Amino acid sequence: MMREQWHMLYNTAAAFLSYNTSIRKGLHVCFNTYDFFPQIINFYMNMLMERSKEKGLPSVHAFNTFFFTKLKTAGYQAVKRWTKKVDVFSADILLVPIHLGVHWCLAVVDFRKKSITYYDSMGGMNTEACRILLQYLKQESIDKKRKEFDTNGWQLCSKKSQEIPQQMNGSDCGMFACKYADCITKDRPINFTQQHMPYFRKRMVWEILHRKLL
């Protein structure tokens, strides 16, 4: 797609989403820079949840980008009302975007595999995040289900750099986190590379414009 044509698509998307200033700004950032607004990640995660309703796909619940930071800094009591109308235990997969200052990562709870896995496009390890999420599940079960959460057989791990695609710059972490989530929620291998990022950015604007994942 020629750059001029792409700018036309971006402008159309921005106009279509003019009611939501944060999303519109996020689209501008997604295309014109290498940063990601939390609102863009939230919008994309919501589309992943919607897609998970399709037959043959694992059911998905995605937490807000502010969830993990709040949980880590303020504890369970600060976030327990966030799932007042949601049964997280009914999902196959929980997606947890994690923001580390200027870097986006992803944690995934898979109830089918009894696993909590951390994905970092810069190779970071974060066992603490996995432990925090396991503790969250224990507290959530007591609060919402009135029963202990059985942690027997659960595994916590961080993916090593050689196990998942890694970014070759300091700015594509948000897109990597989103595409990890995209592959995982389709039960497909994570096999993209840094070279796919320009295309993925353009594709994401199209998906947000049409509110449909390709």
Q: Smallest Cα–Cα separation from 23: which of 212, 214, 213, 211?
A: 211
Q: Does the active-site annotation cover 173? A: yes
Under a CB-based contact definition with an 8 Å cutoff, are residues 31 and 205 in contact? yes
Q: Does the active-site annotation cover 120? A: yes
Q: Smallest Cα–Cα separation from 86: which of 67, 100, 104, 73?
A: 67
SS3 content of the chain, % helix, strand, coil (to 5): 50, 10, 40
Distances in Å between the alpha carbon of 35 and those of 8, 16, 40, 178, 189?
21, 22, 10, 13, 25
Question: How many residues belong to the chain?
Answer: 214
Q: Catalytic: which of 30, 130, 173, 178?
A: 173
Regarding beta strands 115-119 and 155-158, do their DSSP bridges make them parallel or antiparallel, or are they unpaired?
A: parallel
Q: Catalytic: which of 28, 103, 183, 196?
A: 103
Q: Compute the distance between CA of residue 72 and CA of residue 89 in angstroms, rounded to an integer.
A: 20
Q: Smallest Cα–Cα separation from 134: which of 166, 84, 96, 160?
A: 96
Q: Compute the distance between CA of residue 20 and CA of residue 14 in angstroms, rounded to an integer.
A: 9
Q: Does the active-site annotation cover 35? A: no
Q: Catalytic: which of 61, 120, 172, 182?
A: 120
Which residues are annotated as catalytic? 103, 120, 173
